[in-house]
């Protein structure tokens, strides 16, 4: 096989990898959206379907990871391509764990939907949308190698953290005023924490993209330790 042929085949494989990652990302975004819808619209059917989606995410993780491994073994990519493939191997781990958080959210929905609603959900859907947007942008930034979008995600993460803190304080007040709210308030607290973890995964991806683009590591500089 000539070198030129190898190279064009290699680039086809990289494009295929990129596509598979975006496809997995799309499914993860769908899981975030449906898990949150199952909470806000109290739709237990949808919660069940969200949980079922996780098996597909798990399969895609293994598949993409193996594709990356074979690319490293057979093509021995250099420099930027090597960075892209090793990051892809890390990013699928974050995507898979986001799927796990969606399963956790859907499970809380199943419990919450059995009892009367504690309060209208206002911050929770806002957090869900922010987390979903962060995941979408992080993957776009990875695939297009766009560091400025990645920087934006790191800044946006504080918004989710603040919404989470605010909601936690509000729920604490509910629980202290009326013990009958404790179980439901704890469930909502958990959902809020799961969303914060999803946004953290998006931030992890974004920080790795900045590293890929600039070749320098900001993971533990200003953004990870915001004073």
Query: Residue 52, class by beta-carbon neighbours within 10 Å (0-12 exposed, 13-18 middle, 19+ buried)?
Result: exposed
DSSP category for residue 25: H
Closest Cα partner for 209 from 219, 200, 199? 219
Angle (CA) 212-216-221 rounded to 5° is 120
What residue ranges bind a copy of itself (CB under 8 A)?
A: 55, 58-59, 61-62, 65-66, 68-69, 72-73, 76, 78-79, 82-83, 86, 89-90, 93, 172, 175-177, 179-180, 182-183, 186, 189, 193, 204, 217, 219-220, 224
DSSP category for residue 216: S
- Which of 60, 137 has the CB closer to a copy of itself? 60
CB of 116 to a copy of itself, least distance (A): 17
- Which of 37, 102 has the CB closer to a copy of itself? 102
DSSP category for residue 114: T
CB of 23 to a copy of itself, least distance (A): 17
The Cα 154–Cα 223 span in angstroms is: 7
- Which of 4, 225 has the CB closer to a copy of itself? 225
CB of 57 to a copy of itself, least distance (A): 9
- Which of 1, 78 has the CB closer to a copy of itself? 78
């Amino acid at each position: 096989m000539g070198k030129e042929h190898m190279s064009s085949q290699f680039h086809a494989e990289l494009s295929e990898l990129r596509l598979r990652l975006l496809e997995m990302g799309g499914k993860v975004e769908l899981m975030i959206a449906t898990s949150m819808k199952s909470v806000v619209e109290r739709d237990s059917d949808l919660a069940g379907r969200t949980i079922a989606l996780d098996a597909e995410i798990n399969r895609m993780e293994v598949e993409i990871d193996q594709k990356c491994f074979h690319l490293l073994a057979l093509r021995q990519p250099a420099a930027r391509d090597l960075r892209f493939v090793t990051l892809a191997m890390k990013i699928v781990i974050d995507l898979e764990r986001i799927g796990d958080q969606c399963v956790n959210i859907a499970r809380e929905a199943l419990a919450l939907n059995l009892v009367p609603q504690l309060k209208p959900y206002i911050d929770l859907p806002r957090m869900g949308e922010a987390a979903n947007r962060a995941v979408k942008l992080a993957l776009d930034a990875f695939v297009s190698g766009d560091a400025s979008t990645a920087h934006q995600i790191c800044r946006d993460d504080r918004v989710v953290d603040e919404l989470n803190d605010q909601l936690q304080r509000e729920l604490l007040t509910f629980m202290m005023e009326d013990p009958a709210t404790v179980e439901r308030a704890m469930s909502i607290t958990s959902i809020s924490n799961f969303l914060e973890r999803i946004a953290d995964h998006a931030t992890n991806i974004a920080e790795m993209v900045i590293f890929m683009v600039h070749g320098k590591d900001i993971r533990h500089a200003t953004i990870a330790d915001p004073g």
